[in-house]
Structure 1
Amino acid sequence: MTPLVTIANVDMRYGGTGGTLAVKDLTLDVGKGEFAAVVGPSGCGKSTLMKLVTGLHMPQAGTVTVNGERVTKPVSIVGMAFQNPTMLPWRTTLDNILLPLEIVEKHRKRLRANKAEYVAKAEKLLETVGLKGFGQKFPWQLSGGMQQRANLCRALIHEPELLMLDEPFGALDSFTREELWCVIRDLHAAQGVTIILVTHDLREATFLADKIFVMSSRPGRILQERRVPFPRPRELDLLYEPAFNDMVHELRGAIAEARSAA
């Protein structure tokens, strides 16, 4: 499988030469169309990894390559979704989804010339995530789970080749979280987008991902790369299978060992 993302022997330090070393000798590959999850102890550098891949931070050593090009500036083929949807309360849900197209220069002219086309695309995304008819609602009229569904639409509106998810479901109740696991599972299957998920939830990682990277305590590096053996499409019944729970427990043990070794 051709890598879309390659991190090779990367060191990243915050605060200059005497600052905090967040990751050291970080190395991993994520293939085109893969769903990868990154797990590890708190403060291990998971969010730093996300910033390195998107070009929001540059490493002091090593290289980050996305879609065959070395990352030296923010990467344009990326969509991002975070734990907090941060939707603008004075804009409708539809207008919030279209916001990235107004900000990114190469999409701005196309949006002005083809507004109806992009509105139709946004409405289709809303339908895909179960929000058909909610485009004219304001964020304060939506539940937390509905806002996160809209947030996923916003991350996908410009058809990114890479989707970065940083704890996107962490603030939701368990029932809503599992509903959204199925939404992102179906989006991945339908669109073939490459996804990197940063999460503390080992059940989430095991249910969604093709492979899971386990990071060490700070400075973060990859301790394990685990392939997820369960065939797709995966249903929520999988969460109660012994083999699924065995894998979750093995991952928990690896993280506990990494934390104790810090």
Structure 2
Amino acid sequence: MNQRPSNVMDAFVELKNVSLTYGGRHAGDLVLKGLNLDVGRGEFAAVVGPSGCGKSTLMKLVSGLMQAYEGETIVAGQPVTGPLKIVGMAFQNPTLLPWRSTLDNILLPLEIVEPHRQRFRAHRASYAEAAEELLATVGLAGYGSHYPWQLSGGMQQRASLCRALIHEPDLLMLDEPFAALDAFTREELWCVLRDLWQRKQFTVILVTHDLREAVFLADTIHVMSARPGRIEVTRPIELPRPRDLDSCYEPDFIAIVHELRDHIAKARAL
């Protein structure tokens, strides 16, 4: 059950016996307790589990936005002590700035993250060219001058993915990025994300409630317990790649979805 997929290399993200309480170590709400997680370099990992189990908290720990009171969080071989520059993030809501064009929204991380920040003004044209190439990759060629309010929800989420990837992060963190979209658009963006990951081979951690999404995209799925959260089950997904949407209706795919649903039902009952 814990065997790593054969295409995954050395560990890139490690959480070792991590515990976290909102409100401080000796007070408040215990969110994670004794959580262990291992994600390989270049791996696409998904995290699923009951609502409120601490999935989003886990994301904040890995990205350095929060610190655990117990245990270790290690990324790229280094302890995480603050926000990481090598991380790109996308959330359920695209959070594009309405007064900036789509292109300028995508370029925003380059104005903040070193070493790009120091050379952004001098090299803006080349950065903008890279952003336009990303937009074309996700099907938004020619939309760089549009403002967020001129884009559909699906188009905004495509732009959000571009913004998360523009500084070429080693680790992409995705927190329910497609949950607010209709089913057709959601599946379309699964394929966009699949193609981006297969082309660039960055490490991905995806938090989702959609088990079909997790099985379609991931190498490995980690099932969390109810709060306080820990990893109950690690399930390698050995379905052939590249996966297309038709594979979602294959018996092997459906069987994994049902298996994961059973694990989550048991976790919820504990």
Q: C-alpha distance in 2, partners of 1:111/1:34?
A: 30
Please state whether the residue corresponding to 1:97 is helix, strand or coil.
Answer: helix
For 1:69, which of 50, 64, 78 is the aligned residue?
A: 78
Please state whether the residue corresponding to 2:226 is helix, strand or coil.
Answer: coil
Instruction: Note the C-alpha offset of 1:18.
Output: 1.5
User: Does residue 1:137 correspond to 2:146, yes or no?
Assistant: yes
User: Does residue 1:253 correspond to 2:262, yes or no?
Assistant: yes
For 2:175, which of 166, 175, 178 is the aligned residue?
A: 166
Instruction: Note the C-alpha offset of 1:257.
Output: 0.6
Please state whether the residue corresponding to 1:196 is helix, strand or coil.
Answer: strand
Q: C-alpha distance in 2, partners of 1:109/1:222?
A: 40
User: Does residue 1:7 correspond to 2:12, yes or no?
Assistant: no
Determine if contact 2:18/2:71 at 8 Å carries over to the other structure: yes
The RMSD of aligned alpha carbons is 0.7
Instruction: Note the C-alpha offset of 1:105.
Output: 4.3
Counterpart code for 2:19: D
User: Does residue 1:51 correspond to 2:60, yes or no?
Assistant: yes
**What is the correspondence of 1:33-112 to structure 2 with a 5 Å cutoff?**
33-112=42-121
**What is the correspondence of 1:208-219 to structure 2 with a 5 Å cutoff?**
208-219=217-228
2:122 alignment partner in structure 1: 113
* Equivalent residue pairs, number: 261
Q: Which moved more, 1:10-19 or 1:206-215?
A: 10-19
Counterpart code for 1:15: G
**What is the correspondence of 1:10-29 to structure 2 with a 5 Å cutoff?**
10-16=18-24, 17-29=26-38
Q: Which runs of 5+ in 1 are unaligned?
A: none
TM-score by length of 1: 0.99
Please state whether the residue corresponding to 1:13 is helix, strand or coil.
Answer: strand
Instruction: Note the C-alpha offset of 1:104.
Output: 2.3
Q: Percent same amino acid among aligned pairs?
A: 67
TM-score by length of 2: 0.96
**What is the correspondence of 1:193-212 to structure 2 with a 5 Å cutoff?**
193-212=202-221
Q: C-alpha distance in 2, partners of 1:2/1:9?
A: 19
Q: C-alpha distance in 1, partners of 2:150/2:207?
A: 28
Q: Which moved more, 1:103-112 or 1:74-83?
A: 103-112
C-alpha deviations, 1:193-245, integer Å up to 9, x for none?
10000000000000000000000000000000000010110000001101111
Instruction: Note the C-alpha offset of 1:110.
Output: 1.8
For 1:226, which of 222, 235, 244 is the aligned residue?
A: 235
Please state whether the residue corresponding to 2:115 is helix, strand or coil.
Answer: helix
C-alpha deviations, 1:21-52, integer Å up to 9, x for none?
10001101101100000000000010010000
User: Does residue 1:147 correspond to 2:147, yes or no?
Assistant: no
Please state whether the residue corresponding to 1:180 is helix, strand or coil.
Answer: helix
Please state whether the residue corresponding to 1:158 is helix, strand or coil.
Answer: coil
Please state whether the residue corresponding to 1:6 is helix, strand or coil.
Answer: strand
Q: C-alpha distance in 1, partners of 2:86/2:249?
A: 36
Q: C-alpha distance in 1, partners of 2:153/2:127?
A: 25
Please state whether the residue corresponding to 2:74 is helix, strand or coil.
Answer: strand
Q: C-alpha distance in 1, partners of 2:90/2:104?
A: 17
For 1:238, which of 244, 247, 250 is the aligned residue?
A: 247
Q: C-alpha distance in 2, partners of 1:6/1:113?
A: 37
Q: C-alpha distance in 2, partners of 1:119/1:101?
A: 10
Please state whether the residue corresponding to 1:229 is helix, strand or coil.
Answer: coil
Determine if contact 2:85/2:114 at 8 Å carries over to the other structure: no
2:193 alignment partner in structure 1: 184
